[in-house]
Structure 1
Amino acid sequence: MKIPHLKLGTKIAMLSFLLVLLSVFLAGVIIVNRISDKMEQEIGYRAMAIARTVAQLSEVQENLSGFEGSKMIQPLAERIRLATGVEYIVIFDMEKIRYSHPYLDRIGTVFNDGDEELSLQRKEYLSQAVGVVGPSIRAFVPVLADEGTRQVGVVAVGILVPTIREIVGAIRVELYSSILIGLALGGLGSFYLASNIKKNMFSLEPSQIARMLEERVAIFQAMDDGVVALDMENRITVINEKACRIAGTSEKAVGCPLQEFPAFTALSDFLETHDPAESTELILNNTWVLVDFLPIRVKEQVVGRVVTLKEKTEVRKMAEELTGVKTFIEALRVQNHESLNTLHTIAGLIQLDKADQAMEYIYRVTEEQQEVTKFLSSKIMYPNVAGLLLGKYNRGKELKVDVLFDPDSRLSELPEGFDSNTLTIILGNLLENAMEAVVGSKISEVHCRIKHEHHQLILSVEDTGPGISLANQAQMYQWGFSTKGNGNRGIGLSLVKQTVDLLGGTIEMETGKWGTRFGVRIPLSGIRS
């Protein structure tokens, strides 16, 4: 027989109702048993008191062992039995011969029920037994004559014990009404609980929730970006495989504070010192990553944040946009601007009938541009680096800054695994900072040198600006620190420092009233890709 598939709400309601039913049933059984035990205790006290009273009667003590003593004892015992409402009062001598009994034919016979032996040894006690009139509790009390020095017999008083059915019958109204009220309240509570649980589960069945969870986990793990979810105390609540790979950790990190993992040190330090409202670039486990932050909101309340990690390829794309593509566009704009100025100058000289000066000016401008282009194309074998330097040269001309390249500069083939784009990050930011530092100075020059020396690459950028103050030197590598105002500032030197550290190199700075020089040394052996 096929078992029908029940919905979660129905299962919860049925289970809760069965539990309530079982609880009410057990409670009823316990209550009836407690009532039965209490009644038996009270019956025992009552039987013992009556037996003691009868045993103290002089008529019983004097006639118990005498001839035809039953004629005196039987009427007395019957009067007491009828007055007290007990089932029977049996009095027997030391030979167990009955002197009284509710049934007259039992008088003179031997009392031999098996539980009377201790009473013949001057002991009083209660006993449960099935007598001739049914199950009863009976009290055995010895009869002592001669002021308690001699036992002459025993008084046994029996009171019938009510059965469970009789007890239930006596309290059936109260018991049944309590059970019905309990079941009604339990049923209503069960259906309310089932409805509330179903509501909190968005009216979804467990199988639907399981399928959705499997789908979400599969999507989450298949993401090309690393994802780490944090609570308000920066404990990891969720982490996918890509993030584990980037950080060199495992999914066992869930529930642990972020700062416990060395790979996340840079991220933890950043969260402690910055308000993560925008994207940033960090080195995690020797890997360049672009980090984005998104708040987690539950019912309009922020309960944590999601951190997405993009690997080096995404960072490279960003770096190329900042120092490559934009530089080429800027170079074209500057070149166009310079070309217009050159054409205006030539046109003016021609209009002034100074053709010789116009020809000389054309030769000079053309020669200067050709020399720089020829120098960079012959000395720098990487087009992206050469294009960057040419762009900065043209940018300097627009800012009235002389960008000078050391004649000994040379960039030949780099080791396998060395990414030339990292040089555009270093040189692009150092040259841009240097040009901004000398704008408006009496001598506006920026000197650049690139050289191979003893298995290392040496980069040098020197300007003739006012120098860097001691106060600013302590903070110049911090992310977001800038002396040029707010906005997208304070990124260049921090990016340079992180890139140099990633390549295993060193960066030195000399400054004074004469200007500032940044020297970068990058080892060409053991390059980390």
Structure 2
Amino acid sequence: MRWYPRTLAGQVAALALAVVAVVVVAGSVLAAIDARVDGDRAARDEVTAVAVSLAQAPSTVSALTSPDPSAILQPVTDRIRRETGIAFITVLGPDRTRYTHTDPYLIGAPYIGSIDAALRGETITETYTGTLGPSIRTITPVRRPDGRIIGMVAAGITQRSLTSAWRGELPRIAVTAVAALLTAAAGVWWIRRRLLRQTGGLAPGDLRLMYDHHDAVLRAIREGLIVVEAGRPALVNAEAQRLLGIGTDTPAGDLPDFLTRGDGVSDELHAEGGRVLLVSRSPVSGRRGSSVVTIRDRTELAEAMGELDSMTRFAEALRSQAHESANRLHTLVALVEMGRSEEAVRLATTELELSQHLIDRMTQAVAEPALVALLLSKSAQAAERGIAFSLTEDSQLSDDATQILSPRELITVVGNLVDNALDACDPGDPWVEVGVVGDHEALEIVVADSGPGMDDELFGRATARGYSTKFGGDDAGRGLGLALVAQVVSRHHGSLIAQNTYGSVVTVRIRAVSSEAGETR
């Protein structure tokens, strides 16, 4: 049978109660000993004061020099003894003859005790067993005015009376100890109940096991996990630290906005620290400002989806161009069959010149072949949708620009900005203009359209997480374009600006980073 409590609350309560009991019992014993010591000290002071006062009284000197000292001194000592409560007051001569005593029959008998010190003129206090039993007594000399010792005064209190007085204090000490124990028991009971609620009635071993498993789970899960308490992170696992770069000691001003909000969300897209994150937040019931936040890294998937979307649109543009080329080819064949070969040649030449002019213009302005192919596909896509697509005259991108952004990142930025522009331009006057200027030191990408544009607040929401003007606002599954662009720009410490000037204009500026200094040039 287990002799100790199983739960942590029970063990803490038992230990606390045992400690309190030991302290109370030890305190009670010390209080009893202190009461006895104080009683003995007070008795010594009292008998000394009585003996010295009586010995120094002129009436005592006169009585000792009278023919019958007992007749004068016995009534006086009896009165003083009754008033002070001491056991005896004995006045004696230098030859030990008693002149007073508690028992009148012992008057005239020799005094039992040491008188040598008193005869030398000293006052001493000692414990001695006399006719009344063990007692604390003081003996002091009585002097004449000329200094000669003519007698002595002995006063004492019996040990029996002191013990009785000391034992009289025991009930008060016992009551105080019991009251302290009951108060401590009530406090320990309250602590036990509170610990039971806090620990769920689990034993220390169970709590340790839960902690070990909890710690192992936090390290093992691939998702970022943050427990927010009162608006501050109380727990951050390793994956969340990797994704957000925060810890439990991170100042509130450096925390992402989605951690401090209290509403519940599921799979909400956010761009944070150059990453695309999928955030879910579940508030803790009954605890204001507390929630559990899980984070999944969707950066690579989002980039892959963006590239896939670009490739899909590129394929659609190729199909559109193939369909358009087939129509033109059929037209040319029909013109030749109708014997109108000159018109067929003129039509073919005109189409070829327009197509070649566009290819030559983009090839001369943009040195990166992948970006040229992207712009051509966007041009075909715009033509199919009836949107005027153009490259600014000052566009000039050298080969060195890929030192700032890789071809993959160029496609991500330009492709998403152009797609947004194609979706947002004004149907009454649809046009999109692209400007790309860059070398090994700096890169600037400007995409303008005829749409209404976005204000600062709306643009901030669009770059912070998924927002789609095409689908009418926030959408968890769409609108990643600007978030992906913002992620690339943030990774390279660039700037992303939206303005409404001659149209809706979005500008990306990125400067080269020095490999030696590690800073933007």
Q: State TM-score, norm by structure 2.
A: 0.67
Unaligned runs of 5+ in 1: 348-353
Q: 1:296 to 1:274 in 2, by over 3 A?
A: closer
Task: List aligned pairs for 1:50-449, cutoff 5 A.
Answer: 51=51, 61-62=61-62, 64=64, 86-93=86-93, 98-100=98-100, 104=106, 107-108=109-110, 111-112=113-114, 116=118, 120=121, 127-132=125-130, 133-140=132-139, 143=142, 152-162=150-160, 166-167=164-165, 169-170=167-168, 176=174, 179-180=177-178, 182-183=180-181, 186-187=184-185, 189-232=187-230, 234=232, 236-245=233-242, 254-259=248-253, 264=254, 278-283=268-273, 288-291=274-277, 295=281, 297-304=283-290, 314-321=298-305, 323-329=306-312, 389=375, 392-404=378-390, 419-436=406-423, 438-442=425-429, 444-448=430-434
CA distance in 2, matches of 1:514, 1:297: 43
User: Counterpart of 1:196 in structure 2: which amino acid?
Assistant: R
For the 8 Å contact 2:8–2:201, the answer to whether it is kept is no
Cα shift at 1:201: 0.7
Q: Give 1:218 deviation, angstroms.
A: 2.8
Contact 1:144 1:150 in 2 (8 A): yes
1:465 aligned onto 2:450: yes
How far off its partner does 1:315 sit? 1.6
Query: In the TM superposition, what whole-angstrom CA distance separates every residue of 1:372-420 from its partner, at most 9, and x where no partner exists?
Result: 999999999777x677546634542353103346899889798699654
Corresponding position of 2:333: none
Alpha-carbon distance, 1:439 to partner: 3.1
Distance 1:365 1:291, change over 3 A: farther
Matched to 1:282, the amino acid is: E
Paired AA for residue 487 in structure 1? D
The equivalent residue for 1:29 is 29
Aligned to 2:334: none
**1:272: how far off?**
9.0
Note the alpha carbon deviations across 1:300-336, whole angstroms, 9 max, x for none.
223345566656xx32321332x33334455667888
**Alignment coverage as a number of residue pairs:** 493
Question: Is 1:282–1:291's contact at 8 Å kept on the other side of the alignment?
Answer: yes
Secondary structure of the residue that 2:249 maps to in structure 1? coil
Shift of 1:522: 6.0
Aligned-partner Cα distance in 1 for 2:459–2:349: 41
How many Å separate the matches in 1 of 2:133 and 2:282?
77
Work out the CA distance in 2 between the residues paired with 1:506 and 1:181: 74
1:434 counterpart letter in structure 2: A
Q: Please, what is the CA RMSD of the aligned residues?
A: 6.0
Are residues 415 and 208 of structure 1, via their aligned partners in 2, closer, same or farther at CA, if it must alter by over 3 Å? farther
> Shift of the alpha carbon at 1:32?
3.0
User: Could you say what secondary structure the match of 1:303 adopts?
Assistant: coil
Q: Is the 8 A contact 1:289 1:310 kept in 2?
A: no
Q: What are the Cα deviations for residues 251-284 of structure 1, in whole angstroms up to 9, with x where unaligned? A: xx5334144xxxx5xx55887999996432123x
Q: Could you list the per-position Cα deviations for residues 30-82 of structure 1 after superposition, in whole angstroms to 9, with x for gaps in the alignment?
A: 54345446655765676467647865888853453578x67757966886698
1:434/1:461 contact within 8 Å kept: no
Q: Which has the higher contact order (CA 8 A, sep 6+)?
A: 2
With structure 1 as the length reference, what TM-score do the two structures score?
0.66
User: Is contact 2:264–2:283 with CA below 8 Å preserved after alignment?
Assistant: no
What CA distance in whole angstroms lies between the structure 1 residues aligned with 2:423 and 2:166? 100
CA distance 1:165–1:72, shift in 2 (3 Å): closer
Distance apart, 1:496 and its partner CA: 3.5
Q: CA–CA distance in 1 between the matches of 2:452 and 2:189?
A: 78
Please state how far the C-alpha of 1:487 moved relative to its aligned partner: 3.1
CA contact (8 A) 2:140 2:154 kept: yes
Q: Is this contact kept in 2: 1:506–1:522, CA < 8 A? A: no
Q: How far did 1:158 drift? A: 0.8
Give the secondary structure class of the aligned counterpart of 1:157. strand
Structure 1 letter corresponding to 2:13: A
Q: Is the 8 A contact 1:426 1:499 kept in 2?
A: yes
Percent sequence identity over matched residues? 17
Unaligned runs of at least 5 residues, structure 2: 331-336
Cα separation, partners in 2 of 1:240 and 1:113, compared to 1, 3 Å = farther
Aligned to 1:503: 492
Q: For the residues of structure 1 that align with 2:369 and 2:221, how far apart are their CA atoms?
A: 34
Change (3 A) 1:141 1:521: closer
The 3 A distance-change label for structure 1 pair 436 and 138 is: same
